[in-house]
Structure 1
Amino acid sequence: MSKLSLILLLVAILAIASSHADGDRRRPCPGRCQSLSSGGKSVCIRNKATNTCTKLRACRLREKNCRRRDNGLEPIRETCVTRCRNILGSSGVGQCAPRIRKGVLNAAGSKRIRSCRRPCHDNKVATCWRNQQNGCILQTRCQAEQRNCERPHNQWVQASRWSCSGGTVGGGVRHCRRSLKD
C-alpha cells in the first residue's frame, strides 16, 4: 500500500470512531433551575387533549425539554401566558382560561364604543378642554363628547382659552397653563 492510501484509511477510521463517540455524548443541559432563585418568568403549557394548563418557571421548562431531547422526544411548547391566568402562584396546574382576542372588547363595551363613533357636524370651532391629570387639548365639542363617551373616567371639561395657549388643533394633549406667569 502506498503512503497516501494508508493516510486515507487512517482518516476514515478516525472519522468513523469520532462519529460513534459523538453519538454517545449528549449536549449538556443549561444550568439547573434553583428553587430559591426568584429570577425567571412564568410560562404556560397547554395540554390540548384535556385543556389543562400548567404554569411553571421558564427554567423548569428548559430542564424538561432538555430531558425530552436526551430521550429523543419532541420539546414541549409553551402557549400564551394568559391561558394560565386562572392558576394562582408562580406554578400549578388547572383548567385553561379562554384565549384573549386582541382588539375585541366584551360585548357591552364594544357596543358602547360603537355608539360613541357618530360623525361630528360641528368641526369648525375648537375650544380648550381639560382632564383630571391637568392635560389640555384644543378640540371641538363633538370630539370631547366622543372621547368622554369612550372613557367614562377622566372626563374632558371645558377650560379657559388661556389654559391651552400655545397649543394647536390636532397638536395633542399638553400640560395646562396655570396662570399668566407661566
Structure 2
Amino acid sequence: MSKLSIFLLLVALVVAIDADGDSDVGRPCDGRCTIRDLNSPRLLCVRDRRTNTCTKLRACRLRELNCRRRDSGLTPLKESCVTRCRNIRGGSGVSGQCAKRLRTQSPHSIDSKQVRACRSRQCIDDKIAGCWKDRQGACILQTRCEANRSNCVRQSNQWIRTSQWRCRGNVQGGGARRCHSQPIIIKD
C-alpha cells in the first residue's frame, strides 16, 4: 500500500468515528406526546428517592423528561408503584409526599421459597397419628410429619403435641375439633 492510500484510510476512519460520536448529541428525543397520549386517562407515578416526592405524569411526559435528563447527563427517572401517589390529588404534573408502601410481605409468606421447601420435605415411615393442639383450643389427629408441614405456614398458631385423650372422637383426616378439657375417668 502506498502512503497516500494509508493516509486516506486514516482520514476516513477519523471522520467515521467523529460522525458516530456526534450522533447522540443532536438526536431528537423519542416518544414526544401526541394528542392520543394526552387524552389517555392513565397516569404513572414517578418517585424521587432522595426527597421521597412523588409526581403523577403521563407516560409520554416521563419519556420527554428522561430525554432532557439524559441530554443534561442526569440519570433517568423510573416509574414507581401507582399506590405511592394515592394521596396526591390532581392530574398530570402534580407532586406531593409519597404514600407508604402497601405491600409488606412477611419473610415466611405462603409463596416463599422456605415454605415451599418445608412443605415438600419427605416423611420417612411416619404412620402413627397423635393428638396435636393449637393456641385456639383446636385438636387434630395427625402424624408428626403432617403437623410439621402445616406448621410451615402457621407462624403464630403452631400445632403442639398433647395428650391423646384430648382428641377423643377425632378421626385421622377428619379435621380439627375442639379439644376435650378433662380426661375420661372410669370409676369401678
TM-score normalised by structure 2 residue count: 0.49
The separation in 2 between residues aligned to 1:48 and 1:89, in whole angstroms, is 21
Size of the alignment, in residue pairs? Answer: 119
Structure 1 residue ranges without an equivalent (≥5): 105-114, 127-139, 144-182
Q: Tell whether the 8 Å contact from 1:40 to 1:58 is kept in structure 2 after alignment.
A: no
Over 3 Å counting, the alpha-carbon distance change for 1:62 and 1:31 in structure 2 is closer
Q: Tell whether the 8 Å contact from 1:44 to 1:56 is kept in structure 2 after alignment.
A: yes
- 2:18 aligned residue: 20
How far off its partner does 1:34 sit? Answer: 2.3
Structure 2 residue ranges without an equivalent (≥5): 107-134, 142-169, 178-188
How far off its partner does 1:19 sit? Answer: 2.1
The separation in 2 between residues aligned to 1:29 and 1:56, in whole angstroms, is 17
The separation in 2 between residues aligned to 1:117 and 1:14, in whole angstroms, is 86
- Paired letter, 2:55: T
Q: Tell whether the 8 Å contact from 2:52 to 2:98 is kept in structure 1 after alignment.
A: yes
- Paired letter, 1:28: P
Q: Percent identity?
A: 46
Bigger Rg, which one: 2
Q: Which of 100, 103, 123 is 1:101 aligned to?
A: 103
How far off its partner does 1:17 sit? Answer: 1.4
Aligned pairs (5 A) from 1:16-95 = 16-26=14-24, 27-37=27-37, 38-39=39-40, 41-91=42-92, 92-95=94-97
How far off its partner does 1:10 sit? Answer: 1.4
Cα RMSD, aligned residues only:
3.4
TM-score normalised by structure 1 residue count: 0.50
Q: Is the counterpart of residue 9 in structure 1 residue 10 in structure 2?
A: no
